[in-house]
């Protein structure tokens, strides 16, 4: 049984997709969800999926609560699926190459602090990019600068809105994120 900690700050659609993917997989996984927001919809998804979940606020994170909790959970893999806080350096040091993140662009483009979700898609459209995609990468002590594990691309049409781009990127996330996690768990 593989132990996976999923961290999300928002709706948790990627977290749900990952959990559903592993329900009928040869790799059996136990999941635990952590969010930094008390009103994050990922908590509702966790209830629906019968997955344990908890809130560890930014203040608690800054006080070392997240670090202690993750050490207790002793995960095989830590997956950031829309987690918007800078990940604590002590956790990165404790779990080297066991923390991954997904970013809704082809890094190194459109990465860094403040570049998440719709902000990324709006920037892609504003800059008339002809392609975008996803990057799955190891987490480092700096936003979106860890070693790249996987990238997938999608075309951006001249008439695409930021919402159109977001929909294309979500399809890539749902298709590839669980598969990359599966490959990492097999190593």
Q: For residue 103, indicate whether it is catalytic.
A: yes
Please state, in angstroms and rounded to a whole number, the distance separating the CA atoms of residues 64 and 49.
Answer: 28
The DSSP secondary structure of 104-131, one letter per residue, reads SS-TTTT-STT--HHHHHHHHHHTT-SE
The active-site residue, picked from 103, 137, 142, 176, is 103
Tokens of 19: 């959990």
Cα–Cα dist 49/83, whole Å: 19
* Residues 70/77, Cβ–Cβ less than 8 Å: no
Residue whose C-alpha is closest to residue 34's, from 17, 54, 20: 54
Rg, the chain, Cα only: 16
Residues that are catalytic: 103
């Amino acid at each position: 049984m593989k132990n996976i900690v999923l961290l999300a700050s928002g709706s948790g659609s990627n977290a749900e997709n990952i959990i559903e993917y592993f329900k009928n997989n040869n790799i059996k996984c136990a999941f635990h969800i952590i969010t930094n927001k008390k009103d994050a919809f990922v908590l509702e998804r966790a209830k629906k999926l019968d997955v344990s979940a908890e809130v560890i606020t930014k203040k608690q994170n800054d006080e070392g609560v997240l670090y202690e909790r993750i050490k207790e959970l002793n995960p095989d893999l830590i997956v950031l699926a829309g987690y918007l806080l800078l990940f604590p350096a002590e956790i990165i040091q404790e779990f080297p190459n066991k923390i991954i993140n997904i970013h809704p662009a082809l890094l190194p483009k459109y990465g860094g602090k403040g570049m998440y979700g719709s902000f990324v898609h709006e920037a892609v459209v504003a800059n008339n990019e002809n392609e975008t995609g996803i990057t799955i990468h190891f987490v480092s002590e700096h936003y979106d600068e860890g070693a790249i594990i996987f990238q997938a691309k999608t075309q951006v049409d001249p008439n695409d809105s930021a919402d159109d781009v977001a929909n294309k990127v979500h399809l890539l996330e749902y298709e590839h994120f669980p598969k990359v996690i599966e490959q990492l768990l097999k190593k």
